[in-house]
Structure 1
Amino acid sequence: MRQLIARRLLQTIPLLFFVSIVCFALIKMAPGDPVLSFVTPNMHAEDIERIRHNLGLDKPAYVQYFLWLKELVQGNLGYSLVNHQPVLDQILDRLPATAGLMGSAIALAVLLAIPLGLVAGANRSRWPDKLINFISYIGISVPLFWLAILLIYLFAIELHWLPIMGMRTIGVNSALDVLKHGILPCAVLAFSFLSVYVRYIRSSTIGQLKEDYVQIQYAFGSSKRLVLFRHVLKHVLLPIITLLGISMAELVTGAIVTETVFSWPGIGSLGMTAVRGMDYPLIMGITLFSAVLLIVGNLLADILYGFADPRINKAR
C-alpha cells in the first residue's frame, strides 16, 4: 500500500505540470483583456501600458507562465485583479461553505442511491425498476438551474417554508439557520448525484446477480434480501468508490450553478464572479485547486479499493 501511494504521488507531478500548462494556455486564449478592468475613460495610453507592465502582461507568454509557475511552486497563487486579495486566501475562505454543501449532498445521495439501486437491479424490468429508472432519467435530464428555481418558487415563495438565498439570515447566528438555508441547494445537488449513482449501482447489481456465488447463496436457502444487502452490496460499492473519488473535484466546482442561483457564498459563486470580472489569477487558482482535489480523490479511491477488495492489493 505504501508503494502504491508513493507511486501515485510521483505520477501527480507531471500531471499537475500538464494541468498548469493547459490552464494557463486556455486563459491566454480567452477573449478579453484583464487590463481593461483598470482602465477609466480619462486614462492615457501611457498609463494603460504602465498598468500592463506592472501586471507583467507585456512579457512573452512563456515568460509569464514560468513566472507564474515559480510563484505557484512556492504556494503563491497570485493576487486577484479585481479586489487585490490573495487568491489562495479567497479559496480557503469559501471552501468550508462549498465543502459543507457538496459533502452533505453527496452523502445524502449515496445513502439513498444504495438501496434504490439494489432494489432496481434486483427487480429488473418490473415496476420498481421502471419507477426508479424514470426518476433517475428526470434527474439526469433536468437542468439544475431549472430545478433550483422550481424549488425556490414552491417552498420559498408559495409555501414560505424555507429561505430563498444566502447562507445565513442577517442578524441570526445559529446552526439551525444555516441548515434551513442549505436544504434547497443540498436537495438540488443530491437529486443530481442520486440519479447518476442509482444507474451505476443498478447496472452493477444486475451483473452481480448473475455470478455463481449468488446462486450458491440461494441454494443454501438465503433470502433475496439477505443476498442483496450482505453479499451483493460488497461488490456494488466498488464503482461507488470511483464516483466518490471523482466527486472530490466537484467539492470545488460542482456547485457553480446551484451556488449562483441560491447566492450561496462558496467557491462556485466565487468562480462565477471571477469569470464575469475576467479575474484570470483567481480563475486559474480555482482550476488548479479543483485539479489537485481530483487527483487526491483518485488516490483515496485507490486506497479504499484495497480495503473493499483485498484481491486488488494482491494483483498490484
Structure 2
Amino acid sequence: MKSTIVKRLIQIIPMLLFVSIICFGMIKLAPGDPVLSFVTPNMHPEDIERMRQSLGLDKPAYIQYLLWIKEALSGNLGYSLINHQPVLQQMLDRLPATAGLMGISILISVVLAIPIGLLAAANRNRWIDKCINLLCYIGISIPVFWLAILLIYLFAIKLHWLPSVGMRTIGVDSFWDMVKHGILPCAVLSFGFLAVYVRYIRSSTLSQLKEDYVQIQLAYGSSPKLVLFRHVLKHVLLPIITLLGMSLADLVAGAIVTETIFSWPGIGSLGMTAVKGMDYPMIMGITLFSSLMLILGNLIADILYRFADPRIKSTR
C-alpha cells in the first residue's frame, strides 16, 4: 500500500508538468494581449513597450515558460496581472468558499442518490423508475447556467424567498444568512451531481441483482429489501467511490459557471475573471490546482477501493 501511494505521488510531477506545458501553449495561442487592458488612449508606444517588459511578455514563449516553471517549483505561482497580488495567496483565500459549496453539494447528492438509485433499480420499468429516469435525463441535459437563472428568477425575484447573489448580506454576519445565500448555488450543483450518481447507482444495482448471491439470499427466505440494503449496497458503493474521486476536480472547474452567476467569492469566479482579463499567471495556477485535485482524487479513490473491497490487491 505504501509503495503504491509513493509511486502515485511521484507520478504527479510529470503529469503536472505535461498539463502546464499544454495550458501555457494554449494560452499563448489564444488571441489577445494582456497589456491592452492597461493601455490608455494617450499612452505612448514607448510606455506600452516598457510595460510589456515589466510584465516579462517581451521574451520568447519558451523563455517565459522556463522562468514561470522555475518560480513554480519553488512554490511561487507568480503575481496576477490584474491586481498584482500573489496568485497562490488569492487561491488559498478563495478555496474555503469553493470547498464549502462543492463539498456540501456533493454530500447532498450522494446522500440522496443512494436511496433514489436503489429505489429505481428495485422498481425497474415501473412508473417510479420511469419518473426517476426522466428527472435524471433532465439533470444531465439541462445547462447549469439556465437552471441557475431559472431558480434565481423563481425564488429570488418572484417569491423573494432567497437572496440571488453573494455569500453574505452586507452588514449581516450570521450563519443563517450564509446558509440562505448558499441554498440556490448548492441546489444547482447538487441537481447535476445527483442525476449522474443516480444513473450509476441504478445501473450498478441492476447488474448486482442478477448475481448468484442475490438469488441464494432470496431462496433462503430473505426479504428483497434486506438483500438490497445489506448485500447489494456494499457492491454498489464501489462506482460511487470512483465518482467521488473524480468530483474533486470540480472543486475548481465545475464551480466556474455557478460561482460566476451567483457572484460566489470562490476560485471559480476568480478563474472566470482571470480568463476575461487574460491573466496568464492566474489561469496557470487555477489549471494546475484543478489538475492536482483530479489526480489526488483518483488516488484517494484507489485507496478507498482497497478498504471497500478486500478482493482488490495491488499488482506487481
- What TM-score comes out, normalization by structure 1 length? 0.98
Letter of the aligned partner of 2:118 in structure 1?
L
1:93 corresponds in structure 2 to 93
What is the Cα deviation at residue 120 of structure 1? 1.1
Letter of the aligned partner of 1:243 in structure 2?
L
Q: Distance in 1 between matches of 2:199 and 2:161?
A: 32
1:115 corresponds in structure 2 to 115
Q: Distance in 2 between matches of 1:203 and 1:287?
A: 33
Q: Distance in 2 between matches of 1:49 and 1:154?
A: 50
1:34 corresponds in structure 2 to 34
Where does structure 2 lack aligned partners over 5 or more consecutive residues? none
Matching of residues 65-214 of structure 1 within 5 Å? 65-214=65-214
Residue 312 (structure 2) pairs with residue 282 (structure 1):
no
Which whole-Å deviations, capped at 9, do the CAs of 1:59-108 have from their partners, x for residues lacking one?
Answer: 11111111100000011111010100101111111111111011000000
Deviates more, 1:186-195 or 1:273-282: 273-282
Deviates more, 1:293-302 or 1:145-154: 145-154
Which whole-Å deviations, capped at 9, do the CAs of 1:167-188 have from their partners, x for residues lacking one?
Answer: 0001110111100100011011
Q: Distance in 2 between matches of 1:256 and 1:12?
A: 24
Letter of the aligned partner of 1:313 in structure 2?
K
Moved over 6 A (4+): none
1:20 corresponds in structure 2 to 20
What is the Cα deviation at residue 222 of structure 1? 1.1
1:43 corresponds in structure 2 to 43
Aligned length: 316
Identity of aligned residues (%): 76
Q: Distance in 2 between matches of 1:113 and 1:104?
A: 14
RMSD across aligned C-alpha pairs, in angstroms?
Answer: 1.1
Residue 11 (structure 2) pairs with residue 11 (structure 1):
yes
Which whole-Å deviations, capped at 9, do the CAs of 1:127-158 have from their partners, x for residues lacking one?
Answer: 11111100101111111111111111211122
Where does structure 1 lack aligned partners over 5 or more consecutive residues? none
Residues 57, 263 of structure 1: alpha-carbon distance in 2 compared, 3 angstrom cutoff: same
What is the Cα deviation at residue 275 of structure 1? 1.1
Which whole-Å deviations, capped at 9, do the CAs of 1:179-204 have from their partners, x for residues lacking one?
Answer: 01000110111001000111111111
2:257 corresponds in structure 1 to 257
